[in-house]
Amino acid sequence: MATQELFAQAARLPSEERRFLAEIIWETVDADLPAQWENDATIAAEVERRFEAFKAGRERGLSHDDVFAAAKALVA
């Protein structure tokens, strides 16, 4: 089944079922994250590094539209 078909079916579920589905899908994504991300201090340091880079102009933020366009492209 194509990703778009799965999404269309999932979008028709009641909100509680969509939330549950999102949680169990996220668990599979979370399991694929590198072990280094299990440490809250490591995550906090990375967030701080990225924020400092953003403030210094070395990184640019993404607009809401950019983020959602990228997400839609992933399921296309």
pLDDT digits (tens, 9 = 90+) for 2-61: 888 888 899 999 999 999 999 998 888 877 777 766 778 888 898 999 999 999 999 988
- With contact defined as beta carbons under 8 Å apart, do 61 and 54 qualify? yes
Look up tokens 């492209």; give the residue: 73
> Is the domain of 49 the same as that of 74?
yes
Q: How far apart (Å, rounded) are the C-alpha atoms in residues 30 and 1?
A: 23
**Residue range(s) defining the domain that contains residue 64:** 34-76
Same domain flag for 52 and 72: yes
User: Residue 75 pLDDT > 80, yes or no?
Assistant: no
Q: Can you tell me the distance from the alpha carbon of 12 to that of 58, in angstroms, rounded to the nearest whole number?
A: 41
pLDDT, position 76: 65
Site of tokens 């169990």: 24
pLDDT value at residue 36: 66
6 and 18 in one domain?
yes
The model carries a pTM of 0.43
Residue 32 CA to residue 30 CA, distance in Å, equals 5
Per-residue pLDDT at 15: 93
Residues 23 and 41 in one domain: no
Task: Clarify whether residues 51 and 68 are in a common domain.
Answer: yes
Note whether 47 and 70 are same-domain residues.
Answer: yes
User: Contact 50/59 with Cβ under 8 angstroms?
Assistant: yes
Same domain for 27 and 41, yes or no, is no
Kindly state whether residues 70 and 39 are assigned to the same domain.
yes
- Which pLDDT does position 1 carry in this prediction? 62
How many domains does one find in the chain? 2
